[in-house]
Amino acid sequence: VSNAGVGMVGPLECQSLAAMQSLMDTNFFGLVRLVKEVLPDMKRRRGGHIVVISSIMGLQGIVFNDVYAASKFAVEGFCESLVVQALRFNVAISLVEPGPVTTEFEAKLYEEAERTDYSRTDPETADMFTNLYLRNSKDVFASLGQTPEDIAEHTLRVIEAARPPFRHQTNVAYTPMAALKHADPSGTLMTDTFYKLVFKYDAVLRLSLR
């Protein structure tokens, strides 16, 4: 089971390249290093199961999570490319894709975001992040957040499955969000929907979450 991960939220202009590279080294290359270690022996034994804790953000980018989402997209692409070869050796690969999970990980991330200096971006973007994104995120976690124990139970079910699924989403509330990309391959439906949620109907969004 691969479950190493670090987070990053905020305006792109306020993130250092070194911090971005460090995140990718943990979230993506950490997984690559693990798979390189365990896969050869699994192939020799013609059996095994690699379970990767991904994220719904590996399927759908979320505003102000640019680099974190990129790392999870990389995880998804890596595993999707590898799974067909692995199946030839009777090795299963499964991606567990949680939405928000209520832990100290997120709490520390958002506490740090509230203390960050946003002078490197424009005032409108800084206001958008602090007064729209952070406020809505707290409501999202309060309303839709799962516990670590819940994610562990989902992961256990994937591990014990007679035919392990390649993808397993832990929160059904996010299924429609991920489906928007498949409903319209041009991306217009997805971007228009999220734009309206963030900028036109944010009050309705917060009310519905509460």
Known active-site residue 174: no
Place of tokens 């439906």: 189
Domain span holding position 63: 12-123+146-173
Cα torsion 149, 68, 6, 57 to 10°: value is 10
Provide the pLDDT confidence category of residue 165 given band limits of 50, 70 and 90.
very high
pTM of the entire structure?
0.88
State the total domains in the chain.
1
CATH of the domain at 89: 3.40.50.720
Identify the CA nearest to 58 among candidates 99, 108, 1, 10: 99
Is the predicted pLDDT of residue 195 greater than 70, yes or no?
A: yes
Domain-located, residue 58: yes
CA dihedral over 121, 187, 74, 139, signed as positive or negative: positive
Domain-located, residue 71: yes
Domain-located, residue 114: yes
Find the catalytic residue in 68, 110, 118, 201: 68
pLDDT 10s digits, 2-31: 998 888 999 999 999 999 999 999 999 999
